[in-house]
Amino acid sequence: MEGKIAILIVYVDDIIITGDDRGELDTLKLYLAGEFELKDLGALRCFLGMEVARSKSGITVSQRKYVLDLLRDTGMLGCRPAETPMEPNAKLDIEGGKDVDREQYQRLVGKLIYLSHTRPDIAFAVSVIRQFMHSLKKKHLNAVYGVLRYLKGTPGKGLFFKRGNDRMVEIYTDADSAGSSVDRRSTSGYCTYVWGNLVTWRSKKQPVVARSSAEAEFWALARGICEGIWLRRLLSVLKIIKSWPMKLYCDNKAAVNIAQNPVHNDRTKHVEVDHHFIKEKIDDGSVYLMHVPTREQTADVLTKSLHKPSFENLVSKLGMVNIYEPA
């Protein structure tokens, strides 16, 4: 039916069916039951280790059991919790240190990568430790245990998708200029919100060395806009009415001014491609670029290790809650 949506998600023998028309969903389930041997488990409660809880105010997705199993398997259930996933301003390199079991390290990091699908608060730490999968030392394994100690204190944290009237798409982008002590590459991060809820995020070391903080921010801006364009296409496929332009937030005034200024000079030639791309999206009304103070830059938690007050403030802006905490 026109205007009706049914979505089928399949992973091996696990299936999720959702949509906006109960009759269509029942018809789809009857059809699938006629073709395959199925068991209807009712409302979604668990999928691939992700636990779903519902309330009148929204939906929470967490991986509490996955975290507890991971802590039990690694003998960390009795460890002292850490306040943050990584020590503030921590820098890992490849020089010196004792060799460790590579398979153990890779296995642990792989599990943390999967956990970060619902835990953006560990995304930066995981992006750092995964860079040493093939040249690791004892200090790198200690960094992994640091993430586990943080998880010991926050096993039930998860993403909360609230009900609301906000119909905006917002993108926060940030970069930590020359943050890597190994090759001086910058780490960029972005997080996107649809209708006030966090839906995608990424923390990633940039592929080339930026020659200025503005260049590093430009690279992050371009990646954030690409993610926004993908979201716009997805919303269009789902036939969801959109409110444009998307709001793009950056805490680097130089990058914002260059993006909005059509005049090129010698200082911006090395970022000209990204500049043209960003300026084009601003001019056609797809994006509205705004400066945001660093203390309110949510993506900052995806680019560097922070002290507890700043870390907890930004994690709260990610829409993370712990439904297992005492009321």
The domains found in the chain, sorted by start residue, are: 6-42 (no CATH), 64-157 (no CATH), 164-317 (3.30.420.10)
In eight-state DSSP terms, residue 85 is: S
pLDDT for the residue numbered 122: 96
pLDDT, position 52: 93
Q: Which of 154, 160, 211 is nearest to 184 (CA)?
A: 211
pLDDT given at position 166: 78
Query: Containing H/E element for 53?
Result: strand 50-55
List CB contacts of 256: < 8 A, sequence separation 6 or more. Answer: 250, 289, 290, 291
Instruction: Please give the average per-residue pLDDT across 83-88, as a whole number.
Output: 93
How confident is the model at residue 326, as a pLDDT?
Answer: 73
pLDDT digits (tens, 9 = 90+) for 266-300: 455 556 667 778 888 888 888 999 999 988 999 99
Identify the band that residue 145 occupies on the pLDDT scale cut at 50, 70 and 90. very high
Distance from C-alpha of 163 to C-alpha of 195, rounded to nearest angstrom: 9
Cα 210 from Cα 252, distance rounded (Å): 15
Candidate from 113-122, 153-162, 214-223 with smallest mean pLDDT: 214-223
Q: Tell me the C-alpha distance between 41 and 16, whole Å.
A: 10
Min mean pLDDT across 150-164, 236-250, 251-265 is at 251-265
Number of neighbouring beta carbons within 10 Å of residue 170:
20
Cα 72 from chain centroid (whole Å): 26
Distance CA 172, CA 201 (A): 9
**Is 2 a residue whose pLDDT tops 70?**
no
**65 burial class (0-12, 13-18, 19+ CB within 10 angstroms)?**
middle
Encode 257-287: b = buried (16+ Cβ within 10 Å), e = exposed. ebbeeeeeeeebebbeebbebbbebbeeebb
